[in-house]
Chain A
Amino acid sequence: MKGRTVRRHFRESFKSLGRNGWMTFASISAVTVTLLLVGVFAIIMMNLNKVADDLENDVEIRVLIEIFNDEAEMKAAEEKLIAQIENLPDVSEVVYSAKEDELNDLIQDFGDELSLFEQNNPLHNVLYVKAADPQATAKVAKEIDKLDYTYEVLYGEGKVEKLFSFLNISRNIGLVLILGLLFTAMFLISNTIRITIIARKDEIEIMKLVGATNSFVRIPFVLEGMWIGLLGSVIPIVVVSTVYYNLYHTLAPRLKGNMLELLNVTPLLYQVNALLVLIGLLIGIWGSFMSVRKFLKV
Chain B
Amino acid sequence: MIQMKNVIKKYPNGVLAANGITVNIKQGEFVYVVGPSGAGKSTFIKLMYREEKPTSGEVTVSGINLSTLKNARVPHLRRQLGVVFQDFKLLPRLTVYENVAFAMEVIEEQPKEIRKRVMEVLELVGLKHKVRMLPNELSGGEQQRVSIARSIVNKPKVLIADEPTGNLDPETSWEIMEIFEEINRQGTTIVMATHNREIVNTVRKRVIAIEGGMIVRDEYGGDYGYEG
Interface residues of A (CB under 8 A from B): 1-2, 4-5, 8, 19-20, 202-203, 205-214, 216, 298
Contacts and interface: CB of A to CB of B under 8 A. Distances in A.
B90 interface: yes
Interface of B: 49, 51, 72, 75-79, 83, 85, 89-93, 102-103, 105-108, 111, 150, 154
A210 B111 contact: no
Given A19-B93, A206-B89, A213 B105 contact: no
A231 B23 CA distance: 56
Nearest to A19: B93
A2 B79 contact: no
Contact of B108 (A4, A203, A207): A4
* Interchain residue pairs A-B with the least CB separation, the first 10: A211-B78, A211-B79, A213-B75, A212-B106, A19-B93, A206-B89, A211-B75, A210-B103, A2-B108, A5-B108
A219 to B, nearest CB: 12
A38 to B, nearest CB: 33
Given A208-B75, A209-B49, A209-B83, A4 B91 contact: no
B162 to A, nearest CB: 11
Given A5-B105, A212-B106, A216-B106, A207 B91 contact: yes
Contacts of B83: 209-210
B179 to A, nearest CB: 18
B88 to A, nearest CB: 9
A8 B107 CA distance: 12
Given A203-B91, A207-B102, A210-B103, 4 more contacts: A209-B78, A210-B106, A211-B75, A212-B75
Contacts of B93: 19-20, 203
A216 B105 CA distance: 10
A42 B147 CA distance: 53
B155 to A, nearest CB: 13
Q: By CB atoms of chain A within 10 A, which of B51, B90, B106, B111 has the most?
A: B106
Nearest to A2: B108
Contacts of A20: 93
B106 A206 contact: no
B117 to A, nearest CB: 15
Contacts of B90: 206
A211 B111 contact: no
Contacts of B102: 207, 210
Contacts of B75: 208, 211-214, 216
A211 B107 contact: yes
Contact of A209 (B89, B107, B108): B89
16 contacts: A1-B108, A4-B108, A19-B93, A202-B92, A203-B91, A205-B89, A206-B89, A208-B75, A208-B78, A209-B51, A209-B89, A211-B103, A211-B106, A213-B72, A213-B106, A216-B106
B106 A203 contact: no
Contacts of B77: 211
A110 B49 CA distance: 94
A203 B78 contact: no
A211 B72 CA distance: 11
B108 A210 contact: no
B111 A4 contact: yes
A203 B76 contact: no
Contacts of A210: 78, 83, 102-103, 106, 150
Given A2-B108, A5-B105, A298-B51, A211 B91 contact: no
A209 B107 CA distance: 13
A209 B51 CA distance: 8
A20 B92 CA distance: 12
Contacts of B85: 209
B158 to A, nearest CB: 13
Given A19-B93, A206-B89, A211 B76 contact: yes
A203 B107 contact: no
Nearest to A216: B106
Contacts of B150: 210
A210 B51 CA distance: 11
Nearest to A1: B108
A203 B102 CA distance: 12
A19 to B, nearest CB: 5
Nearest to B88: A206
Q: By CB atoms of chain B within 10 A, which of A5, A202, A203, A210 has the most?
A: A210
A298 B103 CA distance: 16
Contacts of A209: 49, 51, 78, 83, 85, 89
A214 B78 CA distance: 13
A4 B79 CA distance: 19
A2 B110 CA distance: 10
A213 B108 CA distance: 11
